[in-house]
Amino acid sequence: MASWIRHGSRMREANMSVLVLLACLLPLLQALKVSPLIEKVSDHKDFRKLLRTRTNVLVLFTTSASSGDSHLKLLSDVAQTVKGQGTIAWVNCGDSEGRKLCKKVKVNPSSKHGGAELLHYKDGTFHTEYSRPATFKSMVAFLKDPSGPPLWEENPEAKDIVHIETEKDFRKLLKKEERPVLLMFYAPWCGVCKRMQPVFQQAATETKGTHVLAGMNVHPAEFDGLKQEFDVKGYPTFCYFEKGKFLHHYENYGASAKDIADWMKNPQAPQPKAPEVPWSETDSPVYHLTDESFDSFLEEHPAALIMFYAPWCGHCKKMKPEYDEAAEVLNKGSNSPGVLAAVDSTVHKAAGERFKISGFPTVKFFLRGEDTFTLPQLRSRDKIIEFMHSPQAPPPPEQSWEDQPSSVSHLGSEDFREALKKKKHALVMFYAPWCPHCKNAVPHFTAAAELFREDRKIVYSAVDCTRGQNHELCKQEGVEGYPTFNHYNYGKLVGKYNGDRGEAGFIGFMRSLRGRDQEKVVKKKEEL
């Protein structure tokens, strides 16, 4: 009997131990239940190690296990979405170890509303307090680009815009909304969209109550069907709906808020574009050639300037009247220095292929049947006449950035990854040679590279996205416009640089990174 009593007593003690153990493990189990992707940290050394090994970390500090519940549920979904791009960690400042950690990093979540604080760490050091909306979409966008601009819907000035996230929400709006709707289909990176957003916001406020102005980011591939349905071929595209039915596109991209509001009062379909007017061969003093007449024409005319063109080409259209006027002047008199001719390369393709015509207009000078000069500078009447009276070789083409001596490292798809792996900090400019914004940035970027040329851990690099296989590389690196600046740490993409594109901006960015590196060295010595 006594043994049974002792056995029962031991069972009760064991059960109590299990309950105590469960009570101690409950916060940890709660965290695990939220998501195994959220790093639970309580030791200071583990925290420093986390920041050393991860470049993009959002840390939730809470006063207790329960005070972080609402955040942890949301952050579980965020962690799953940004897996591989960012890290989410949790520090409970309410337990003994966590309290020591919070004290060392000087964080006090009890001073915050709800007893929780979100701080972001970048490249091993504190970057910023997370102050954007505590929503899944905003947090994901922030972790994918911590230095990037906020989402359109985060702008308080855009409060009167209806922000649509899914196709289901889009269909629901059209089905239920009785008021007319003007919808802006846009992409976050689109420059024209960014320029028009403030105007669209103001128009939404001015027409509030009578009309609905909405915005929808349809750049992701999941909206390809929607784009096809409403003929979205570029950004932004504006579609006007009444009682759920699409009626018109709105195409005034230079509009003011008043222009949009006035149009909404009396919406009209865009005026049809004037049809292409062919270059009249009968009324023009220019000789119009075909594949068949090309060689015989050159035999008859020892000096000929020939314009290879496409009817749809805007630069060609602009040049046509200048070319016609020059031909009329040159054809007068018996001592003309030469003749002007043109070839529609979209119809007569053999001549274009023979002379490797790759863009329009291309102007070539033929002397005694020989292709002598290609003349990209001849666009105006006076310059054409001047050249024909004194034919000279064109000035040498502008030296490419890559061929100019500088401290910028020019990379391609073949050496991009290997080169960046060797550098702690690399600022890479992805560009196109024809891009005016790129041309403006080149001297500033080059000057910054020159300043850091002796630093073996730092490099300023450039990639010409139009050359060879670089187009695919640029696509892989998230380049959607020129120029794009990416920051890499030992070959790993850290984020985009969206700062000032002057010399001071490029230099200041690198100096701040180097300053953080030095701070880490000092802290490490202090810890030792």
Q: Which residues are catalytic?
A: 190, 193, 313, 316
- Distance CA(439)–CA(443), nearest Å, equals 8
Strand partners, 250: 238
CA-wise closest residue to 211 among 249, 240, 245: 240
- Distance CA(408)–CA(404), nearest Å, equals 10
Strand partners, 409: 461
- Distance CA(295)–CA(289), nearest Å, equals 9
Number of Cβ within a 10 Å radius of residue 192: 14
- Distance CA(3)–CA(45), nearest Å, equals 50
Strands 87-92 and 116-122: unpaired
CA-wise closest residue to 116 among 143, 94, 138: 94
Distance of alpha carbon 360 from its chain centroid, rounded?
28
| Cβ-contact 264, 211 below 8 angstroms | yes
**DSSP per residue over 473-490, as a string?**
HHHHTT--SSSEEEEEET
What is the DSSP code (8-state) at residue 183? E
User: Tokens in use for 337?
Assistant: 């220095």
- Distance CA(488)–CA(428), nearest Å, equals 8
